[in-house]
C-alpha cells in the first residue's frame, strides 16, 4: 500500500510539474509581450492559451531528424539528460507538509548533484551535433558551468549551517520563525544569480546566444528532441524558483492561506522575476561571467560562509 | 569652397614637384580641384598629397573608374579608354581633390596605392572587378562584389546591363560542379593558416545567413578557441548593380533606386543623389523645398538610428529595446507616410524640389513626435546606455583612434566617436543646413559604447533640427520652376501654348537633359558620408553613376577592430558600426 | 539491499572496462561518468550518502566536465571516429544507456522505496563526516589543503605564462586595459557620460 501511495505521489508531481512547465511557455510569452509593448500569442484558443498545445502537436509531428554527420547515440542521449536530471531534482523538494516524494537527508546535495550533471546535456548536445556553432555553445556551457557551479553550492552552505541539515524539509522547518532571506541575504542574491546561470536563460544564455551562435548547442536539433531542451529549460525555471522559495522564503510557511498555496505564490513570483530578467538584461560575455564568478561571487560566498559559521558557533 | 585659390596653390605645388606638363587641371561643375596626371606618377602624386603637402589630404575618400569609350563630350580632357579617379579629402583644408589617370584599353595596368592607404584595398578590388583594371602589387586582387566565377567586368560599357541581353541562363552539370568548387573554402586563399605551432584553428562562417549580421554578409573567422585570430568579411551578396542601373535610368527615374542603397535612410539617399544632379543642372531649389528636404532627412536619420539602437541592444543580448525602438519608428513612419505616401522607400524628392507640398496637419503630427521621443530616449538611456552589463560588453571593445579612422576612410558617427568633430552638415553645408542650430556630438574613446553614445545624441540633435524646420517652414513653392526640374511644373499657359506644351511633354516623358559635366554631391548620411559622383554626357541618362557609401569602408575596417577579441565582441562591433548591406554592395 | 550494491558494483566494473576499450574519447568519458555514478550508488548503498553526493558533484559533475571540455577542444574528432566506426558500428550507444537505466532504476528504487539505504554498517551523515574530518583527521585535511594550494599556485603560474605569450601575438592591448573584465569595465568613467 505504501508503495502505491509513493507511485501516485510521483505521478502527481510529474504531471503537475510538466504541466506548469508547459504552461510557463505561454506565461512567458504573454508576460514578455506585455513588457515589450506587443500582444504575444492570442489567437489559438481563449487568450491564446492553446498555443502551447498547438506548439506541442507541431513538435510531435515534426520529422525526428538526426543529422547524418552527428554522433547519433550521444545526439539522442543529450536531450534526455536535461529532462532526466531536472525531473530527478523534484523528488526531494518538499512542496507542503506531507507533499514530498522523499525526504533525503542529503536532499540539497542531491539537487546540486543533479544540476551539475545537467550540464552534460548541453555539452554533449553541442559536441555530438558536429556543428561549429554547437561546439562553441557546448564549450561555453562547460566554461560557464565551471564559473557558477562552485559559488552556487557555497552560497547555500550558509543556509545549511543555520538549519543544521541538508534535508530540505528540515531547512523549511528551520524557517518557521524567520525566513532565511533575512539572515542569508547575500546567499540569496548569489543563489538567484547562480540559478539564472544554471537555467541558461538570459542574461546567462551564453551557450545559446542566438545573435552570436545562431542557436548554440541546439542548432541542429528539431522536433521533440528540441522540445526536450525547450521544456527542460522551463522545468528548470520551475525547479530553481521552487528551490529559492524553499531555501530562502520559508517554503510553505505563511499566514491564513493553505501551505501549498503559499508555496505556489512564492514560486510563481520568482518565475515572473526570471521572465522579467529575460526582458530586461543584455548578455555578458562568457569570460566576463567567469571572471565575475571567480573574482566576486566566489569570495563573497566564502565570506558569507565564514561569517555565518562564526555567528552560528557563537550563538551555540 | 574657395575654388580658385585652392586650384592655383595645390596646382602649383604639384607642378613644382612633378613637372608642369604632367599635371593638367580640369574644370568641373562641382568646383573640386581636378587634375589629370600620368598613370606612372599616380602613386607618387597620391603619396605626396597624403604626406608631402602642407595641410595634407589624409583620407582616401573614393577610388573608382569610368569606361570612357562611348563618351562624346570630353572637351579639353586627355583622351583615354578608361579613367581612374582618386578622390582625396583634406580635413585641414576642408576640401576634396580629384586626381584622374588616363588608361588605354590595351594596357590596363596601374601601380597599387594600398601601401599608401590600406583602405585602397577594397576599392582597387572593386575597380578590378567592375572594369578589369589591374593594380600591380595589390596583395589580393580578387573579385569582391561579383561571384568568383563571373565572366566579364560589369561596369564596362560593352557588358550587358539586363538579363534579357545575355541569353537564357543555363546550368549544365559541369558548370554546376565548377560553381560548387568555387564555393569551397580554402583558408590559404584568404591568407590564413590552418594551424599555428600549438593549435589548430577553427574556421567559422558567420553568415551569409546568420541572425547577427543584419543581412547577407559572410564573415570568415579564424578562431583559436573562441578568440578571433583573423577575420575576413566577404561582401557582394547584396550587390544589385545600382551603379550600372544608373546608366540606363533617366535622371528622374533613378531616384527610386537611390532609396534602396541605404535602405534605412529613405529620402536621405535622394538628397545625396539630387545634390549632385542639381549641381550638374545648376538648379537651386526654393527654400520651402530645401527645408522640407532637411526635415524629412533628419526624420529618417532618427528612423535609421532607432533601428540601429534596438538591433544593437539585441546584438548584445537585450531582447526588449528592439520592440520599443521599432514602435517609435512606426510613429515616425506614420509621419513619413502621411507626407510622402510611402514608408521605407518614399522616393519623394525630385530634381529641383520635392514631389508634393506638405499635407494639411503635418506640423501637428511632427510636433507630437518631437514631444513624444525625448522622454523615450531618456528611458532607453536608463535601460541600455547606463546598463552595467551593456557597458561591460561595449566599453573598450573594438576601439579605433581618429587617425586610424581617417586612414581607413571612416566617416560619420563612427569617426565622431573618436573625438574628431567632423560633420559635413556643419563643415561643408549643403542644402540649407547652414541655417540651423545644432551641435555635433562627439565621444572620446572610439569604442562600441562611444559609437552608440554619439548616435543617441544625434537623435536629439536631429529632433532640434526638425523642430526648427516646423517652426520656420518658409512659404512658397515646393519645386523649382527651372526647366530642368523633373517632372516640370505646369506653367499657367501649358494647355494654351504649343511650345510650352511640347517642352512640358518632353520634360515629363524623356526627362530632363542635363548639360555635360561631372559633379560630386556628398552629404552626411545616416551612417557617414554618402556621395554621388555623376558624369553627364549631355543626355537624359547619366553616363556614369558612382555611389560612394559609408558602409563600404566601415566594413573594411572590421578585421582591425576584432582581432584578438571574442566572437561575442565581433557581434557587438558589427552592431556598433551600423552598416547596411545594401549600402556596402550597392 | 545487498543486491543493489552488487548490481551497482557490476555496472561500475563493466562501465570502466568499456571506458578503457573505447577509441572515441568522448564515448570513453561517457562510460567513465557512468562508472563514477555507479560508484556513487555503491557509496550510497553502504551508508555514506554524503560521500555519494560529493562523488557525483565533484567527480561526475565538475572534473569530468573539464575532461570533456578539453577533449572537445582537441581536434581529433574525424580520424578517431573513422577508426571507431570501423571497429564498433552497431549498438555503440546502447551500452551506456542500459547501464545508466539500471542505475536510474536503482536510484528511483532507493529514493522512492521505503526504508532507506542499509547494508551492514549504519548511515554516516554529513555531520559525522565533518566531525571526523576536523577531529582525528585534521592533519590529513591540512595536508590535502597544502597540496591543493600548491596545485593552485602552479596552475596560476602556467596560466599566466600562457596568457603573456598570447598577448604578444596581438597588437590590441586596449581591451586588456579598459574592458578586459567585467568588474573594471564601466567604473573608469562616470555613468551616462558619452
- Flag whether C187 is in a domain: no
Cell of A173: 522547518
Q: Within this chain, do residues C97 and C152 fall inside the same structural domain, yes or no?
A: no
Q: What is the residue range of C144's domain?
A: 137-171
Q: Within this chain, do residues C25 and C113 fall inside the same structural domain, yes or no?
A: yes
CA C100 to chain centre: 16
Which chain B residues have a beta carbon less than 8 Å from that of C179?
392, 394-397, 447
Query: Looking at the partner chain, which of C50, C60, C123 has a beta carbon nearest the beta carbon of A117?
Result: C60
How close is the nearest chain C Cα to the Cα of A71, in Å? 9
Q: What pLDDT, on a 0 to 100 scale, did the predictor assign at position C182? A: 32
Q: Within this chain, do residues C63 and C89 fall inside the same structural domain, yes or no?
A: yes
Strands B517-524 and B529-536, bridge-based pairing: antiparallel
Per-residue pLDDT tens for C7-52? 888 888 888 878 777 777 777 888 888 888 888 888 888 877 888 8
B448/B569 Cα distance (integer angstroms): 9
Q: What pLDDT, on a 0 to 100 scale, did the predictor assign at position C118? A: 53
Kindly compute the dihedral angle of the four CA atoms of residues B44, B46, B47, B52, in this order, to the nearest 10 degrees.
100
Residues 6+ apart with CB under 8 A from B308: B264, B455, B575, B578
* B483 contacts B471 by C-beta, under 8 angstroms: no
Compare all CA atoms of chain B with the CA of C173 and give the residue at the minimum distance. Answer: B564
Q: Within this chain, do residues C18 and C90 fall inside the same structural domain, yes or no?
A: yes
Residue B532's DSSP bridge partners are B521, B547
- Flag whether C176 is in a domain: no
Is there a contact between C72 and A143 if contact means CB atoms under 8 Å apart?
no
CATH of the domain at C59: 1.20.120.1200
Q: What pLDDT, on a 0 to 100 scale, did the predictor assign at position C194? A: 35
Neighbours of A121 (CB within 10 A): 26
User: Number of structural domains, chain C?
Assistant: 2
% residues pLDDT > 70 (chain B):
97
Q: What average pLDDT does this structure show over B476-489?
A: 79
How close is the nearest chain B Cα to the Cα of C192, in Å? 6
How close is the nearest chain A Cα to the Cα of B211, in Å? 5
B161/B300 Cα distance (integer angstroms): 31
Q: Within this chain, do residues C15 and C75 fall inside the same structural domain, yes or no?
A: yes
Task: Tell me if chain C has a CB within 8 Å of the CB of B413.
Answer: no
pLDDT band at B483 (very low <50, low <70, confident <90, very high): confident
Q: How many CB pairs under 8 A join A and C?
A: 127
Per-residue pLDDT tens for A46-64? 888 888 888 888 888 888 8
C107/C113 Cα distance (integer angstroms): 9
Residue-range domain boundaries for chain A: 64-315
- Flag whether C8 is in a domain: yes
- Flag whether C48 is in a domain: yes
DSSP state, B387? -
Q: Within this chain, do residues C118 and C33 fall inside the same structural domain, yes or no?
A: yes
Of A283, A142, C191, A278, the C-alpha closest to B569 is A283
Phi-psi group of A209: left, alpha or beta (phi > 0 → left; psi -120 to 50 → alpha; rest → beta): left
Cell of B529: 558620408
Residues 6+ apart with CB under 8 A from C98: none
The H or E element spanning position B102 is: strand B95-103
Residues 6+ apart with CB under 8 A from B226: A136, A139, A140, A286, B566, B567
Query: Looking at the partner chain, which of B394, B396, B457 has a beta carbon nearest the beta carbon of C194?
Result: B457
Per-residue pLDDT tens for A60-108? 888 888 888 777 888 888 888 888 888 888 888 888 777 777 777 788 8
Q: Within this chain, do residues C53 and C118 fall inside the same structural domain, yes or no?
A: yes
Domains of chain B: 3-136 (3.30.460.80), 248-550 (1.10.645.10)
% residues pLDDT > 90 (chain A):
0
> pTM of this prediction?
0.82
pLDDT band at C184 (very low <50, low <70, confident <90, very high): very low
Of B198, B80, B65, the C-alpha closest to B134 is B65
Residues 6+ apart with CB under 8 A from C106: C4, C7, C8, C41
How confident is the prediction for chain C on average, in pLDDT?
A: 70
Q: What average pLDDT does this structure show over A256-264?
A: 83
Task: Give CA separation, A210 vs B212, B315, C110, in Å.
Answer: 8, 9, 41
Q: Within this chain, do residues C86 and C116 fall inside the same structural domain, yes or no?
A: yes
A95/A242 Cα distance (integer angstroms): 8
Strands B109-111 and B134-136, bridge-based pairing: parallel
Look at residue B384 and tell me whether its pLDDT is greater than 60: yes
Q: Within this chain, do residues C113 and C148 fall inside the same structural domain, yes or no?
A: no
Q: What average pLDDT does this structure show over A163-181?
A: 82
Look at residue C145 and tell me whether its pLDDT is greater than 80: yes
Q: Within this chain, do residues C108 and C167 fall inside the same structural domain, yes or no?
A: no
Complex ipTM, two decimals? 0.83
- Flag whether C181 is in a domain: no
Amino acid at each position: 500500500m505504501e508503495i502505491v501511495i509513493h507511485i501516485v505521489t510521483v505521478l502527481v508531481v510529474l504531471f503537475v510539474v510538466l504541466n506548469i512547465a508547459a504552461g510557463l511557455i505561454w506565461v512567458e510569452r504573454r508576460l514578455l509581450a506585455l513588457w515589450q509593448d506587443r500582444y504575444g500569442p492570442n489567437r489559438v484558443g481563449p487568450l491564446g492559451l492553446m498555443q502551447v498545445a498547438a506548439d506541442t502537436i507541431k513538435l510531435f509531428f515534426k520529422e525526428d531528424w538526426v543529422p547524418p554527420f552527428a554522433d547519433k547515440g550521444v545526439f539522442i542521449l543529450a536531450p534526455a539528460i536535461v529532462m532526466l536530471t531536472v525531473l530527478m531534482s523534484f523528488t526531494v523538494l518538499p512542496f507542503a507538509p506531507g507533499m514530498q516524494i522523499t525526504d533525503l537527508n542529503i536532499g540539497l546535495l542531491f539537487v546540486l548533484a543533479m544540476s551539475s550533471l545537467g550540464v552534460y546535456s548541453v555539452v554533449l548536445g553541442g559536441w555530438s551535433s558536429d556543428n561549429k556553432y554547437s561546439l562553441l555553445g557546448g564549450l561555453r556551457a562547460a566554461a560557464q558551468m565551471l564559473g557558477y557551479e562552485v559559488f552556487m553550492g557555497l552560497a547555500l552552505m550558509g543556509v545549511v549551517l543555520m538549519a543544521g541539515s541538508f534535508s530540505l524539509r528540515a531547512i523549511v522547518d528551520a524557517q518557521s520563525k524567520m525566513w532565511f532571506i533575512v539572515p542569508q541575504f547575500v546567499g540569496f542574491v548569489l543563489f538567484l544569480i547562480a540559478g539564472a546561470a544554471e537555467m541558461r536563460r538570459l542574461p546567462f544564455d551564453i551557450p545559446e546566444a542566438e545573435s552570436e551562435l545562431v542557436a548554440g548547442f541546439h542548432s541542429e536539433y528539431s522536433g521533440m528532441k528540441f522540445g526536450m531542451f525547450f521544456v527542460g529549460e522551463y522545468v528548470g525555471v520551475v525547479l530553481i524558483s521552487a528551490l529559492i522559495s524553499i531555501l530562502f522564503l520559508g517554503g510553505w510557511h505563511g499566514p491564513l492561506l493553505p501551505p501549498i498555496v503559499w508555496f505556489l505564490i512564492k514560486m510563481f513570483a520568482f518565475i515572473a522575476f526570471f521572465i522579467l530578467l529575460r526582458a530586461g538584461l543584455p548578455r555578458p560575455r562568457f569570460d566576463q561571467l567567469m571572471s565575475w564568478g571567480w573574482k566576486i561571487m566566489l569570495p563573497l560566498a566564502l565570506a558569507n560562509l565564514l561569517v555565518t559559521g562564526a555567528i552560528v558557533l557563537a550563538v551555540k | 569652397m574657395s575654388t580658385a585659390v585652392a586650384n592655383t596653390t595645390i596646382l602649383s605645388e604639384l607642378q613644382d614637384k612633378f613637372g608642369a606638363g604632367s599635371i593638367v587641371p580640369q574644370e568641373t561643375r562641382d568646383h573640386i580641384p581636378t587634375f589629370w596626371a600620368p598613370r606612372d606618377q599616380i602613386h607618387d602624386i597620391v603619396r605626396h598629397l597624403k604626406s608631402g603637402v602642407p595641410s595634407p589630404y589624409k583620407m582616401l575618400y573614393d577610388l573608382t573608374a569610368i569606361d570612357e569609350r562611348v563618351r562624346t563630350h570630353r572637351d579639353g580632357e586627355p583622351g583615354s579608354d578608361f579613367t581612374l579617379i582618386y578622390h582625396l579629402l583634406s580635413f585641414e583644408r576642408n576640401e576634396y581633390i580629384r586626381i584622374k589617370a588616363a588608361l588605354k584599353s590595351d594596357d590596363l595596368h596601374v601601380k597599387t596605392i594600398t601601401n599608401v592607404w590600406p583602405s585602397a584595398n577594397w576599392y582597387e578590388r572593386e575597380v578590378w572587378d567592375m572594369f578589369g583594371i589591374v593594380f600591380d602589387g595589390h596583395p589580393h586582387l580578387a573579385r569582391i562584389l561579383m561571384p568568383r566565377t563571373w565572366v566579364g567586368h560589369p561596369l564596362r560599357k560593352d557588358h550587358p546591363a539586363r538579363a534579357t541581353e545575355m541569353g537564357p541562363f543555363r546550368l549544365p552539370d559541369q558548370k554546376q560542379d565548377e560553381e560548387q568548387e568555387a564555393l569551397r573554402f580554402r583558408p590559404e586563399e584568404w591568407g590564413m593558416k590552418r594551424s599555428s605551432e600549438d593549435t589548430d584553428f577553427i574556421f567559422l562562417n558567420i553568415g551569409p545567413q546568420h541572425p547577427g549580421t543584419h543581412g547577407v554578409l559572410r564573415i570568415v573567422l579564424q578562431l583559436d578557441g573562441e578568440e578571433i585570430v583573423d577575420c575576413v568579411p566577404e561582401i557582394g551578396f547584396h550587390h544589385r548593380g545600382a551603379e550600372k542601373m544608373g546608366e540606363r535610368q533617366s535622371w528622374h527615374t533613378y531616384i527610386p533606386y537611390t532609396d534602396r542603397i541605404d535602405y534605412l535612410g529613405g529620402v536621405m539617399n535622394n538628397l545625396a543623389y539630387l545634390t549632385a544632379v542639381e549641381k550638374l543642372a545648376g538648379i537651386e531649389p526654393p527654400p520651402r523645398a530645401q527645408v522640407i528636404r532637411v526635415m524629412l532627412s533628419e526624420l529618417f536619420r532618427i528612423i535609421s538610428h532607432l533601428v540601429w539602437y534596438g538591433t544593437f541592444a539585441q546584438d548584445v543580448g537585450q531582447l526588449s529595446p528592439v520592440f520599443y525602438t521599432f514602435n517609435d519608428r512606426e510613429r515616425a513612419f506614420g509621419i513619413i507616410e502621411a507626407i510622402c505616401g510611402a514608408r521605407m522607400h518614399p522616393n519623394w524628392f525630385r530634381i529641383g524640389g520635392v514631389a508634393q507640398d506638405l499635407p494639411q496637419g503635418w506640423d501637428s503630427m511632427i510636433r507630437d513626435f518631437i514631444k513624444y521621443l525625448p522622454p523615450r530616449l531618456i528611458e532607453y538611456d536608463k535601460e541600455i546606455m547606463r546598463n552595467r552589463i551593456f557597458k561591460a560588453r561595449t566599453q573598450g571593445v573594438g576601439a579605433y583612434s581618429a587617425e586610424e579612422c581617417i586612414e581607413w576612410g571612416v566617416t560619420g558617427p563612427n569617426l565622431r566617436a573618436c573625438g574628431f568633430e567632423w560633420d559635413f552638415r556643419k563643415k561643408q553645408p549643403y542644402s540649407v543646413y547652414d541655417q540651423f542650430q545644432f551641435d555635433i556630438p562627439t565621444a572620446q574613446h572610439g569604442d562600441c559604447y562611444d559609437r552608440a553614445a554619439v548616435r543617441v545624441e544625434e537623435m536629439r540633435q536631429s529632433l532640434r533640427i526638425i523642430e526648427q524646420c516646423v517652426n520656420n517652414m518658409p512659404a512658397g513653392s515646393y519645386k523649382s520652376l527651372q526647366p530642368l526640374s523633373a517632372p516640370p511644373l505646369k506653367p499657367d499657359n501649358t494647355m494654351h501654348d504649343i511650345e510650352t506644351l511640347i517642352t512640358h511633354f518632353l520634360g515629363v516623358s524623356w526627362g530632363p537633359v542635363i548639360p555635360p559635366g561631372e559633379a560630386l554631391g556628398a552629404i552626411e548620411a545616416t551612417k557617414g558620408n554618402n556621395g554621388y559622383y555623376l558624369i553627364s554626357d549631355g543626355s537624359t541618362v547619366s553616363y556614369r553613376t558612382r555611389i560612394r557609401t559609408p558602409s563600404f569602408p566601415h566594413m573594411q575596417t572590421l578585421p582591425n577592430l576584432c582581432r584578438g577579441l571574442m566572437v561575442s565582441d565581433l557581434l557587438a562591433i558589427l552592431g556598433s558600426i551600423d552598416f547596411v548591406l545594401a549600402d556596402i554592395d550597392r | 539491499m545487498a543486491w543493489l550494491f552488487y548490481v551497482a558494483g557490476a555496472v561500475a566494473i563493466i562501465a570502466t572496462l568499456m571506458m578503457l576499450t573505447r577509441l572515441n574519447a568522448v564515448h570513453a568519458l561517457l562510460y567513465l561518468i557512468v562508472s563514477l555514478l555507479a560508484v556513487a550508488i555503491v557509496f550510497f548503498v553502504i551508508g555514506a550518502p554524503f560521500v555519494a553526493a560529493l562523488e557525483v558533484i565533484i567527480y561526475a559533475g565538475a572534473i569530468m566536465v573539464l575532461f570533456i571540455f578539453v577533449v572537445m577542444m582537441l581536434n581529433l574528432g574525424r580520424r578517431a571516429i573513422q577508426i571507431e566506426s570501423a571497429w564498433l558500428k552497431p549498438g555503440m550507444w546502447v551500452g551506456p544507456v542500459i547501464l545508466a537505466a539500471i542505475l536510474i532504476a536503482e536510484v528511483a528504487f532507493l529514493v522512492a522505496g521505503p526504508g532507506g539505504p542499509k547494508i551492514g554498517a549504519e548511515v554516516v551523515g554529513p555531520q559525522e563526516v565533518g566531525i571526523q574530518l576536523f577531529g582525528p583527521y585534521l592533519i590529513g585535511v591540512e595536508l590535502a589543503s597544502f597540496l591543493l594550494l600548491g596545485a593552485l599556485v602552479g596552475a596560476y603560474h602556467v596560466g599566466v605564462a600562457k596568457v603573456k605569450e598570447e598577448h604578444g601575438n596581438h597588437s590590441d592591448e586596449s581591451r586588456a586595459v579598459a574592458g578586459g573584465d567585467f568588474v573594471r569595465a564601466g567604473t573608469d568613467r562616470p555613468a551616462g557620460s558619452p
